Amino acid sequence: MTDETERLRDRVAVELERTRARTALLTDAVDDDDLVRQHSPLMSPLVWDLAHVGNQEELWLVRDVGGRDPVRRDIDELYDAFQHPRRDRPQLPLLGPVEARGYVRTVRDKVLDLLDAVPLEGRRLTTDAFAFGMIVQHEQQHDETMLATHQLRVGAPVLTAPSPPDAAVRVGDEVLIPGGPFTMGTSTEAWALDNERPAHTVDVPAFFMDAACVTNGEYARFIADGGYDQPRWWTPEGWEHRVRADLTAPMHWLRDRDWWAYTRFGRTEAVNPDEPVVHVCFHEAQAYAAWAGKRLPTEAEWEKAARFDPATGRSRRYPWGDEDPQEHHANLGQRHLAPAVAGAYPAGASPAGVHQLIGDVWEWTASDFAGYPGFAAFPYREYSEVFFGPKYKVLRGGSFGTDAAACRGTFRNWDYPIRRQIFSGLRCARDAHLSELG
């Protein structure tokens, strides 16, 4: 075994255990009643997420990669996300808290055992330990989903974390991103998922990208200006949803005399006008941008702003370069339970000076979720391909609840345009006019 393979095995073991510690934190923080209860019809009971994470790990790593006997073939159907919509999951004969914890432990022990034996080459699924990376990302994505469930849970607060850092620099208004081709997506990132592949050239005309995300204070001005009462800012589909769902403010906002209060993980406090707005749906994001005289960026514009380095003409892995995210780059990984204000992470800015593209809040883009030219489903169609089409909008950049393992400059998230229980905000863009190109 080469040193490199050994280092890869060590890295996989560290990532698996680091991720499981987060899952344990999110599921041990509540009592058994809260673990089996459904906190919102939009979400699974936390105990479903827990055993589902173990079941996916069993399917891919124990059975497929390891070629070992099933641990619990009898529960596969219960934890198949395509068989049962979230609202129906509480009625299923799910594993209880003790059984679920025992199950994920048994699966993990087998995985750590086979990690030492399985060759990390020869098969695409195991080359560069891809299947292990896929399972780490899957669990981290469910951890973010469980964090969103915590946000929907009613009751005394159970999660704590230090506040994110304050602004270290003043961030400007908007930045010109020069027109021309750039490389979007990746063919080289070892743990990138099928929908991020392959790398391809996209010609993006010059445009302006806001240097920071839209803040609560800016969004409150949209509300105060009657933004939710005027169909002209909304698309017909957005307005229909705005009326039907009776939207009047971001999710979790409550009117408090002439300002707003916000309940975050069980604590109610005044909305901080400087923080990025979060818990808005695509339609609200689109309406805000129209009111502001701007628009949402396309997905290609977002990625160009995040990755393109005009000095070299190449695309970076992250806005700051090719280095994996460190604590000073971005607000990721649930280290904090809130997005940070603009200017808190100057070391994470892009070459053009766009701040906090990674972390803090997911950013809605104008784009439908679609396969890149040359897309090939891997390792299964249900990972992304079945979601391609106009029903889903792409979000980019990750949130304070996204782990670095599940967030890259190329990483793509998608959801229905009416969803806002996720940690979603927005950043505006606008066309560049000839007279502004100098």
Binding residues for Fe cation: 52, 138, 142
Nearest to 216 by CA among 272, 143, 290, 285: 272
Enter the tokens of residue 359. 């972390």
Enter the tokens of residue 398. 């990750």
- Binding site feature residues for gamma-L-glutamyl-L-cysteine: 86-89, 415, 419
Phi-psi region of 226 (alpha: psi -120 to 50; beta: other; left: phi over 0): left
Nearest to 164 by CA among 436, 353, 354, 401: 401
Enter the tokens of residue 268. 């109610």
DSSP strand pairing (424-425 vs 429-431): unpaired
Nearest to 388 by CA among 363, 412, 371: 371
